[in-house]
Amino acid sequence: MSKVKVGIIGSGNIGSDLMVKLRKSETLELTTMMGIDATSRGMQHAKEIGLTVFDNGVDGLLDNPELVDIIFDATSAKAHLHNAEIAKKLGKKMLDLTPAAIGPSVVPPVNIEEHLDAGNINMITCGGQATIPIIHAINEVAPVEYGEIVATISSKSAGPGTRANIDEFTETTAKGIEEVGGAKRGKAIIILNPAEPPIMMRDTVYAIVEEGSMAEEKITASVRKMVAKVQEYVPGYKLRTEPIFDGNHVTVFIEVEGAGHYLPKYAGNLDIMTSAAVKVAEELATSLPKVAVN
Amino acid sequence: MTQLKITEVALRDGSHAMSHQYTVEQVRNITKGLNAARVPYIEVAHGDGLGGSTIQYGLSKTDELKLIEAAVEEADFSKIAVLLLPGIGTIQDLKEAHRIGAKMVRVATHVTEADVAKQHLETAKNLGMETVGFLMMSHMAPVDKLVEQAKLMESYGADTVYAVDSAGAMLPYEVSEKIKALRDALTVNIGYHAHNNLGLAIGNTLAAIEHGATRIDGSVRALGAGAGNAQTEVLVAVLEKMEVETGIDLYKMMDLAEEVVAPIMQTTQEITKDSLTLGYAGVYSSFRLHAERAAKKFNIDSRDILIELGKREIVGGQEDMIVDVAAELAQKNQVTV
């Protein structure tokens, strides 16, 4: 079976990490890098490894639409609006790694099957990818009235896009906790820690479950099962302790160690985001031929 | 010289010491007194700023917008300020606070992370609010880093930039050095926010004023996190003796502290072993009560938790690390027993 062709828009941290991961994929073939700064490290690297490189961003595809079937957008929420329009015009699948959230939000082990037909799929945020599976796992056992997450990442792993748009992180993640995780109400907090050496990404999930629905053993089992599913595509994802129970509160501590592809292993936030997107693209790749027939 | 302007923080920083249980009536009574004493600014919000009512930091008894609204109604002289930590609160929260009458916002970031405040400061400026860039945990950064980050705050439109000693860990010479460097490098107002964990809040504040700070924080009866802040009525008295004009009525401040604030405090403010440890280890002052609860739960010494948090360079907002570290220490203790 021939591989499905893919391209990346954006040559920053996320785009560069995607480059590493996509070149390892058995079902996807990375052909194109679309950036705006030809001198950036990411663009230079793309050239060196023989990708087609456009320095006018997604517009480069307009004359060469055959280069890609699936596009990864690793720019910003603002830039994504334009990029999504071009992708739609060209009939290409779009995986959105910005917090723009135009299309349905996907967390692979929770709802990937529901949205394989969507033209534009949103990957929420790194904090969302790390915590929403846990909210969902709890919610499957006991209805979550309120889900709150705290994502702590090293300052070094937060690029300028994340920093300039920090509200988009908290708002998009909170929405994901509700719409994908199933909590009635969601809240997200992000903390940047500048310690040296950089800290691993850590996430804390707090859930308040419906009065009288607490089932500690079942929740622990459900959380463990979910962690194993996430580990299939992010091996460094793990529980730091057993879930902690207090009345109708559940607390879960997670650590995400990255694969150390583009940034070192502390940047689990980068890794879980890009790994989730690649996972979605690989699922799409196996379903695409059916779509492409019509 | 620009007139020194004091911001009273008991209704925000004090929210930590009150375990976020302020009622509308308490806020009304305290605001009434502060307004009568002619305090220029009163900060009202959850201890961790707008949107801070969470499991992570403590759920508020009363919606902070109701508290802000009540304060605005009681204050015809004092301006009501709010605190916002990007990553916790959002521009949406800021707009709500502005709509109900907040006139100033202090946008707070860790001392090395000023760039996350850009959007919030710019939005506040556009709303016509007075703006403050609030660099927390300033003891953790060397002078040049602090100046670099303060300049960013200035470039985003901050009317004032604060060096915030969130851990109450700074020594007087350090305050002098840092405030002087800020004064030399910036054209906007310089502010200083103290915590009394090492008993230095008033002394450090005087050092800051001597080197050019004109915006100063205080908490009446020292009702703030840890051992509280520079005690406002004490500071007013000291400044009066130094012939530094604050515009605040000393007797009215003393009466408010004694008759209105003291009766509602959970405990008398003193430098307990845990507050002292915060300053000694350089740990965010709001961690005290959380560490005490975790110490009880895991049957360990709360000071050990705080010292370990200091070693790991934990920053403001990382309250989830307290239980984590406590659990780890408890486990270690078991192993060695």
Cβ within 8 Å, pair A195-B312: yes
Distance from CA of A115 to the nearest CA of B (A): 29
* B166 labelled ligand-binding: yes
Claim to verify: residue A191 and residue A256 sit in the same structural domain: yes
pLDDT value of residue B3: 86
Residues A105 and A184 placed together within one structural domain of the fold: no
Name the pLDDT band for A292 (thresholds 50, 70, 90). very low
pLDDT cut 90: percent of chain A above it: 89
- Mean pLDDT, residues A209-218: 96
Interface test with A, best of B59, B91, B112, B320 (most A CBs within 10 A): B320
Task: Provide, as residue numbers in chain A, all residues whose Cβ is less than 8 Å from the Cβ of B321.
Answer: 152
Per-residue confidence at A293, pLDDT binned at 50, 70, 90?
very low
Residue type, B66: K
Which residue range forms the structural domain that includes residue A97?
4-123+273-293
Q: Looking at the annotation, which residues of A are catalytic? A: 126
Consecutive 10-residue runs of chain B (337 residues): their mean pLDDT? Answer: 89 98 98 98 98 97 98 98 98 98 98 98 98 98 98 98 98 98 98 98 98 98 98 98 96 98 96 98 96 94 97 95 92 71
Whether residue A229 sits in one domain with residue A118: no
B286-336 is classed CATH 1.20.200.10: no
Phi and psi at residue A196, in whole multiples of 5°?
A: -120, 135
Q: What are residue A153's phi and psi, to 5 degrees?
A: -130, 160
Q: Which amino acid is at A291?
A: V
pLDDT at A289 (0 to 100): 59
Contact at CB, A150 and B320, closer than 8 angstroms: yes
CA nearest B6: which of B148, B192, B271, B138? B192
Q: How far is CA B3 from CA B7, B84, B177, B212, B245, in A?
A: 13, 25, 22, 11, 7
Distance (Å, rounded) from C-alpha A179 to C-alpha A181? 6
User: Would you kindly state where each structural domain of chain B is located, as residue ranges?
Assistant: 5-264, 286-336
| A193: CATH | 3.30.360.10
Does one domain contain both A226 and A130? yes
What are A122-132's pLDDT values in tens digits? 999 999 999 99
Distance, CA of B313 to CA of A132 (rounded, Å): 28
CB B81 within 8 A of CB B124: no
CA distance B244 to B239: 5
ipTM above 0.85, yes or no: yes
Phi, psi (rounded to 5 degrees) for A60: -60, -25
Interface test with B, best of A148, A156, A167 (most B CBs within 10 A): A167
Q: How many domains does chain A have?
A: 2
pLDDT tens across B205-226, in order?
999 999 999 999 999 999 999 9
Residue position matching structure tokens 């919606």: B63
Q: Are residues A175 and A114 in the same domain?
A: no
- In this complex, do A194 and B110 lie within 8 Å of one another by their Cβ atoms? yes
Q: Are residues A235 and A140 in the same domain?
A: yes
Is residue A181 within 8 Å of B102, Cβ to Cβ?
Answer: no
Nearest CA in chain B to A250: B55
What mean pLDDT comes out for the span A24-40?
A: 95
Residue B1: predicted pLDDT: 54
A259 — pLDDT class (breaks 50, 70, 90): very high
Closest CA to B109 of A160, A155, A157: A155
Q: Rounded to a whole number, what is the distance in angstroms from the first to the last CA of chain A?
A: 19
Q: Please say if the pLDDT value at position A294 is more than 60.
A: no
A162-205 pLDDT, tens digit per residue, is 898 899 999 999 999 999 999 999 999 999 999 999 999 999 99
Residue A273, phi then psi, degrees to nearest 5: -70, -50
Q: What is the CATH number of the domain that holds A74?
A: 3.40.50.720
Pairing mode, if any, of strands B189-193 and B160-164?
parallel
Tokens of residue B291, six digits: 């560490």
Taking Cα atoms as reference points, which of A253, A40, A52 lies closest to residue A134?
Answer: A253
**Tell me, what amino acid is at B326?**
A
Q: Could you check whether the bond before residue A104 is cis, i.e. omega within 30 degrees of 0? A: no
Same domain, A203 and A224: yes
B287 CA to chain A: closest CA distance, Å? Answer: 15
Task: Assess contact for A138 and A209: CB atoms under 8 A.
Answer: yes
Q: Which chain B residues have a beta carbon less than 8 Å from that of A187?
A: 51, 54
Q: Is residue A145 located within the same domain as residue A90?
A: no
Q: Do A191 and B87 touch (CB under 8 A)?
A: yes
Same domain as A112, residue A13: yes
pLDDT for B85: 98
Let me know whether A245 and A138 are in one domain: yes
Is B318–A170 a contact, with Cβ atoms under 8 angstroms apart?
Answer: no
Which residues, 6 or more positions from B243, have their beta carbon under 8 angstroms from its beta carbon? Answer: none
Options 3.40.50.10490, 3.30.450.40, 3.20.20.70, 3.30.450.20; CATH of B5-264: 3.20.20.70
Q: B110 and A240: CB-CB below 8 Å?
A: no
Task: Supply the pLDDT for residue B336.
Answer: 56
- Optimal mutation site among B313, B321, B331, interface A, most CBs of chain A within 10 A: B321
- Same domain? For A118 and A130 the reply is no
